[in-house]
Amino acid sequence: MPLWHLAVSALITIDNSSALISLLADFRKQNPDAKIGFVPTMGALHQGHISLITRAKKENQLVVCSIFVNPTQFNDPKDLERYPRTAEADAAMLSDNGCDIVYFPAVDDIYPNGLNEPFDMDFGGIDNVMEGAHRPGHFKGVAQVVDRFFRIVRPDRAYFGQKDFQQVAVIRQLVKEKKHAVEIIACPTLRSTQGLALSSRNMLLSEEEKENSLIIYKTLLSGQNWIKDNSDITELTEKLTVFFKKGNLHLEYLELANPENLQPVKNKNQPVHCFIAAFCGKVRLIDNMRLN
């Protein structure tokens, strides 16, 4: 184990980019062959995030996690306000799970020129469907903040959960567009024992609402079963929508799309992936699953 690593066996907390840049430069100088793994988060950490930290820990010599509730990716100010913040518990979880550095920036450290700083990127159309269509500006905000993080941390590998499937596609496009030298690693969605996809937003749900939200998982599983006997994708989409609406959630969209380009699928000779976004009360939940 490199000497530098022994010296940082406790979690280091950093709240400004200049300090982080110089710490990482020092690390790289002393450990030229070492790899840096990065897990960007908005905090309110759960086992899904920890699975990313654990994987990053296995594959890299140093693991950096960022915790930043990014205002530019919230198209609804109330959603930003409600977003759970659990800084102390997050730091304890990261420390217990072997994370080396947590970067906890303030808004002006990430956006020194203000929140309206321009950010341009060609999203190649993936920002026009599903999450992109229903949350205008969301992916621009995500790409903007992740671009900033990649410039600060310059990780060798960055880890994202597949629950945010479309976000992973946006990040891959960002890497291509801005020529970041980072490998993007998409990790499987973790679920509760009953099947609810783990999400920071689940903290905002009552036990009854968590139970009601299982309709998302049940619909995805039904999709996997029903696609075997349904060759008509429009019919299958309708059947799944009717099934979903028997539950207590408010459906925003249910779409069957090709996971490679996120465009709607016409037949099941292509890969078919089901994407769902729905509100349980005021809490917006998303999930997805490959059907065939």
Binding site for ligand PAF (CB under 6 A): 40-42, 70, 73, 142, 145-146, 164, 167
Handedness of CA 59, 60, 66, 71 (dihedral sign): negative
Picking from 46, 28, 19, the residue whose alpha carbon sits closest to that of residue 102 is 19
CA dist 129 and 208 (Å) reads: 31
Kindly tell me which of 150 and 244 has the beta carbon lying closer to ligand PAF.
150
Please indicate whether residue 46 is annotated as part of the active site: no
CA dist 156 and 184 (Å) reads: 9
Q: Give min distance, CB of 93 to ligand PAF, in A.
A: 15
The conformation of residue 267, written as its DSSP 8-state character, comes to B
Question: What contacts 43, CB < 8 A, 6 or more positions away?
Answer: 67, 68, 69, 84, 85, 86, 87, 90, 200
Q: Give min distance, CB of 67 to ligand PAF, in A.
A: 9
Catalytic site residue from 49, 138, 180, 273? 49
Q: Give min distance, CB of 43 to ligand PAF, in A.
A: 8
Query: The tokens of 192 are what?
Result: 């509760």
Strand, helix or coil for residue 237: helix
Kindly tell me which of 60 and 166 has the beta carbon lying closer to ligand PAF.
166
Kindly tell me which of 145 and 254 has the beta carbon lying closer to ligand PAF.
145
Kindly tell me which of 41 and 54 has the beta carbon lying closer to ligand PAF.
41
Q: Give min distance, CB of 88 to ligand PAF, in A.
A: 19
Strand, helix or coil for residue 86: coil
CA dist 78 and 38 (Å) reads: 29
Q: Which residues are catalytic?
A: 49
